[in-house]
């Protein structure tokens, strides 16, 4: 199941997205975002992506996690581990499927840097995320990468 929550202002997200353009162009030229090679590619932190992550941490609202049965009173900022900026690769006609994202008993979060189609997570089906917002899902949920190619975000993990 995917739960949405507030993240950062859309202007902050857009600035962070734009700061990744050159690196993404290079990855495309190298063929690293071609369908079927991987589901996503990690990107370098930029001053703008750092600003977006810090803005999220400053105004963090984890209340949407209660819909996943999570007691948010026990979550501190130290529980959030930033993986970094990512871009989703182009997707094949036959989607890439994973039985779970990980198995650590935590929550993954995606701070969207543009509007894009999320992977199908758990029983949520096809969902779009808006620039600046956050999507949360359990790390044990199955994931299907079908049509999220080109979407940019900052991935993080909340340990419980």
Given this model, what pLDDT does residue 61 score?
92
Q: Is 129 a residue whose pLDDT tops 70?
A: yes
Continuous H helices in 30-122: 47-58
Contact between residue 159 and residue 91 where contact means Cβ atoms under 8 Å apart:
no
Rounded to whole angstroms, the Cα distance separating 93 from 8 reads: 33
Count of structural domains, the chain: 1
Cα angle at 17 between 16 and 20, to 5 degrees?
A: 95
Reference 60, options 36, 82, 83; nearest CA is 82
Contact between residue 99 and residue 139 where contact means Cβ atoms under 8 Å apart:
no
Give the list of residues 6+ apart from residue 25 with CB closer than 8 angstroms, or none: none
- For the beta sheet containing 107-112, the strands, ordered from the edge strand earlier in sequence to the opposite edge, are 3-5, 134-138, 107-112, 152-158, 80-88, 40-42
Residue 117's pLDDT band (boundaries 50, 70, 90)?
A: confident
pLDDT in tens, 51-110: 999 999 999 999 999 999 899 988 888 899 999 999 887 666 677 677 765 566 789 999
Query: H-helix or E-strand containing 111?
Result: strand 107-112
The domain of 145 spans 3-158
Instruction: Output the pTM of the full model.
Output: 0.90
CATH of the domain at 140: 2.60.120
């Amino acid at each position: 199941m995917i739960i949405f929550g507030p993240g950062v202002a859309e202007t902050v997200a857009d600035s962070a997205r734009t700061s990744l353009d050159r690196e993404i162009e290079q990855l495309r030229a190298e063929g690293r975002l071609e369908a079927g090679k991987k589901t996503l590619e990690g990107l370098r932190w930029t001053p703008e992506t750092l600003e977006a992550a810090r803005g999220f941490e400053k105004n963090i609202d984890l209340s949407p996690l209660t819909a996943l049965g999570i007691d948010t009173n026990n979550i501190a900022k130290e529980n959030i581990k930033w993986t970094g900026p990512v871009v989703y690769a182009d997707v094949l006609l036959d989607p890439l499927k994973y039985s779970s994202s990980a198995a650590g008993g935590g929550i993954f979060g995606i701070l969207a840097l543009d509007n894009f189609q999320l992977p199908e997570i758990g029983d949520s089906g096809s969902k779009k995320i808006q620039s600046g917002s956050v999507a949360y899902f359990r790390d044990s949920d199955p994931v299907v990468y079908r049509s999220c190619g080109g979407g940019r975000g900052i991935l993080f993990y909340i340990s419980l």
